[in-house]
């Protein structure tokens, strides 16, 4: 994982954390962007919830809660920040 960003949502009581998934040996290639929601991204806990389909497929955390969608305020911005830092 690289280029992680956490953004507080104005719509729901959560932070959205997005990062780029990098396959070993392919640092120069663009990876998928995965997004999770959590109450506090500074704390390691089981409170993380998978928001997008790839995060749901690749992590063992629970699916997102009500209102925590890829289009929710905070999720869009966190993914946009990651996308800006990805290789071209």
Per residue in 5-23, pLDDT (tens digit) is: 999 999 999 999 999 999 8
Full-model pTM: 0.88
Question: Which DSSP state fits 67?
Answer: T
pLDDT of 65 above 90:
no
CA–CA distance, 18 with 3 (Å, rounded to integer): 8
| pLDDT tens figures, 19-58 | 999 988 777 788 999 999 999 888 887 889 999 999 999 9
């Amino acid at each position: 994982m690289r280029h992680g960003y956490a953004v507080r949502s104005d719509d729901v009581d959560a932070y959205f954390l997005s990062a780029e998934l990098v396959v070993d040996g392919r640092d120069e290639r663009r990876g998928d962007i995965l997004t999770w929601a959590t109450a506090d991204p500074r704390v390691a806990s089981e409170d993380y919830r998978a928001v997008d389909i790839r995060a749901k497929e690749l992590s063992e955390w629970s699916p997102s809660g009500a209102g925590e969608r890829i289009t929710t305020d905070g999720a869009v911005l966190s993914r946009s920040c990651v996308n800006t830092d990805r290789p071209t």
